[in-house]
C-alpha cells in the first residue's frame, strides 16, 4: 500500500484485510457489498495475504475491472488456469508481479542472445521469509531466465539445502534452453548480507552486468524501484487501453515451469 502511494494519480477506495471486514480508505464508500466496492473502483490490486484471493479475482473479472495481481503464484494451478481463461474471455488486463523484468538494464539487454545468465539473490535471516514470498522469488527468476533466453526450455535441474532449520533456505536451479543457453539461479534466504546480482554473458563470452544492488531494507525481496515501475506501467497501460508488458499467461507459464523445480526439491 505504501508503494501505491508513490504512484501518481492513484488512491485507494477500500482495503480488504485478512479475516477482517472491508475498510474505507477515502471515505464515503459503502462497505456492505464487495460487488459495489469493485464497481466503484477503476483497478483492483490483489495481494496474496487475502484468504479470498481467488474469489476476489472472479468478482473483478465479472465486473470487467483490470487487475494488478501481485502474487498469483500462490494459487493452485487449476485456479490460475481458470483466471487466465477469464482474462481471455472478459478482455480485462491482468498484470502479475513479475517484477524482475523491470530491472533497470533488462530492457537494454533483452535483445541479446545470451550464452549464460547468473542470477543470485541473498536475504538475511533476521526476519523469516514467508513461503509465499519465497515462491514469488522463484517464479520471478524462472520468468527472468525464460524471458531473456528467447528459446524453449530443454531441461530444468534443481536442489535445495536447509540452513538453521529453514527448509529450502538455499535453492539452486539451472535451466538449459534449446539454443544452448544456460541460466543459473541461486536464492539464499539465510545469508549474511542482503544482495541481488544478475550477470549476463553473450555469445562472445563478454560479461554484461545486468543489475546489482544491496537491499536497503531487511527482507525487501524486490527492489522498490522495480515494483513501482511495474505499478506505473500497469496504470498507464490500463488507462491507455494497451497491452501490458507482462500478462497472467506469462505467470501461468512460469508456474508450470516452477512446478518442476518444486517437485525436484521436495522429492
Tell me the pairing of strands 22-24 and 14-16: antiparallel
Top-level CATH class of 4-98+228-248? alpha beta
pLDDT band of 193, cuts 50, 70, 90: confident
pLDDT at 124: 85
Domain locations in the chain as residue ranges: 4-98+228-248, 100-219+256-266
CA atoms within a 13 Å half-sphere pointing along the CA-CB vector of 256: 12
pLDDT at 172: 97
100-219+256-266: CATH architecture: 2-Layer Sandwich (3.30)
The stretch 11-29 carries a mean pLDDT of 50
CA atoms within a 13 Å half-sphere pointing along the CA-CB vector of 129: 28
Percentage helix, strand, coil, to 5, in the chain?
35, 30, 35
Cell 526439491, located at residue = 265
pLDDT band of 21, cuts 50, 70, 90: very low
β strands within the chain, DSSP E: 14-16, 22-24, 43-46, 66-69, 94-96, 114-124, 153-163, 166-177, 182-191, 195-202, 207-213
Stronger pLDDT, 212 or 183, i.e. the higher one: 183
- State what percent of residues in the chain have pLDDT above 70: 83
Poorest-pLDDT segment among 22-26, 184-188, 253-257: 22-26
- Compute the distance between CA of residue 234 and CA of residue 96 in angstroms, rounded to an integer: 10
Highest-confidence range of 101-110, 132-141, 217-226, by mean pLDDT?
132-141
Q: Which of 144, 149, 150, 152 minimizes the C-alpha distance to 178?
A: 152
pLDDT band of 23, cuts 50, 70, 90: very low
pLDDT over 80 (residue 73):
yes
Structure confidence by residue, pLDDT tens digits, 43-60 = 888 877 777 889 989 999
pLDDT over 80 (residue 218):
no
- Compute the distance between CA of residue 60 and CA of residue 64 in angstroms, rounded to an integer: 6
Amino acid at each position: 500500500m505504501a508503494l501505491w502511494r508513490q504512484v501518481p494519480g492513484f488512491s485507494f477506495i477500500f482495503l480488504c484485510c485478512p479475516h477482517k471486514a472491508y475498510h474505507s480508505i477515502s471515505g464515503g464508500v459503502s462497505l456492505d457489498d464487495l460487488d459495489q466496492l469493485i464497481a466503484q473502483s477503476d483497478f483492483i490490486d490483489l495481494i496474496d495475504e487475502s484468504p479470498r484471493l481467488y474469489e476476489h479475482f472472479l468478482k473483478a473479472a465479472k465486473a470487467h475491472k483490470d487487475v494488478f495481481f501481485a502474487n498469483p503464484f500462490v494459487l493452485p494451478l487449476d485456479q490460475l488456469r481458470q483466471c487466465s481463461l477469464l482474462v481471455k474471455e472478459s478482455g480485462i488486463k491482468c498484470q502479475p508481479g513479475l517484477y524482475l523484468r523491470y530491472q533497470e538494464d533488462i530492457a537494454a539487454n533483452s535483445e541479446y542472445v545470451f550464452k549464460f545468465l547468473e542470477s543470485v539473490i541473498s536475504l538475511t535471516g533476521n526476519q523469516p521469509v514467508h513461503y509465499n514470498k519465497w515462491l514469488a522469488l522463484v517464479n520471478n527468476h524462472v520468468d527472468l531466465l525464460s524471458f531473456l533466453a528467447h528459446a524453449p526450455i530443454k531441461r530444468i535441474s534443481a536442489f535445495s539445502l536447509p540452513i538453521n532449520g529453514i527448509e529450502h533456505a538455499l535453492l539452486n536451479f539451472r535451466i538449459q534452453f534449446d539454443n544452448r543457453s544456460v541460466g543459473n539461479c541461486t536464492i539464499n534466504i539465510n545469508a549474511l548480507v542482503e544482495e541481488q546480482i544478475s550477470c549476463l554473458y553473450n555469445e562472445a563470452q563478454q560479461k554484461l552486468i545486468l543489475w546489482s544492488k544491496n537491499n536497503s531494507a531487511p527482507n525487501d525481496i524486490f527492489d522498490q524501484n522495480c515494483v513501482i515501475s511495474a505499478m506505473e506501467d500497469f496504470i498507464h497501460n490500463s488507462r491507455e487501453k494497451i497491452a501490458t508488458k507482462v500478462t497472467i499467461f506469462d505467470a501461468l507459464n512460469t508456474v508450470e515451469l516452477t512446478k518442476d523445480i518444486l517437485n525436484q526439491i521436495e522429492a
